[in-house]
Amino acid sequence: MDRLKLATVWLGGCSGCHMSFLDLDEFLLELAARVELVYSPLVDTKEYPEGVDVCLIEGAVANTDHLELLERIRQRTRVLVSFGDCAVTGNVTALRNVLGPRNAEQVLQRAYLECAQDNPTLPRAEGIVPPLLPQVLPVHQVVPVEHYLPGCPPPADRIRAVLVALLEGHAPALEGPQLKFG
């Protein structure tokens, strides 16, 4: 039997969801026998591959690089899971949205000019800082998502419940304490 091709992605967030993923402890060994990890910040793969079965997407969509990667992921992946509250709702990453539609420039001004201790300069060179989107978006506002895995970060047992269901060919059914934000 072919192993499930699993990817994990980190967009605009803190990496806490990936840290919880690592908290799967011994289940990671079982998971490694059942999946092929084809793309992740946990491995050194440069290009998102074709034919991915499941992708856990951590973080909100905050810049043009996120947008381009997310569109590529959707084209190449069968099942997308919004992984954590930033991916599901925008959460902390989207706090800059309250500044209004021109918030991206305000954020850059504050970070690189007003708060700089040495050499206050906006990074404008190509490839240094990807252009920020006018507002931060949760994943489902950009591409269709099949499943949601809430939590900030989601605890390991919730991640495991979703992965086990997907490995068994079922839709995850988070209920009660498993369906909790924050």
pLDDT digits (tens, 9 = 90+) for 109-150: 888 899 988 989 988 788 888 989 999 999 999 999 999 999
- Band of pLDDT at residue 105, cut at 50, 70 and 90: confident
Confidence check: pLDDT of 179 > 80: no
Give the percent of the chain with pLDDT over 70.
95
Cα 73 from chain centroid (whole Å): 11
Task: Say which CATH architecture domain 4-99+132-175 belongs to.
Answer: 3-Layer(aba) Sandwich (3.40)
- Band of pLDDT at residue 107, cut at 50, 70 and 90: confident
CB 162: neighbour CB atoms within 10 A? 22
Q: Where are the domains of the chain?
A: 4-99+132-175
The beta-strand segments (E) located in the chain are 4-10, 35-39, 52-58, 61-63, 77-83, 132-137, 147-149
Using an 8 Å Cβ cutoff, are 86 and 56 in contact? no
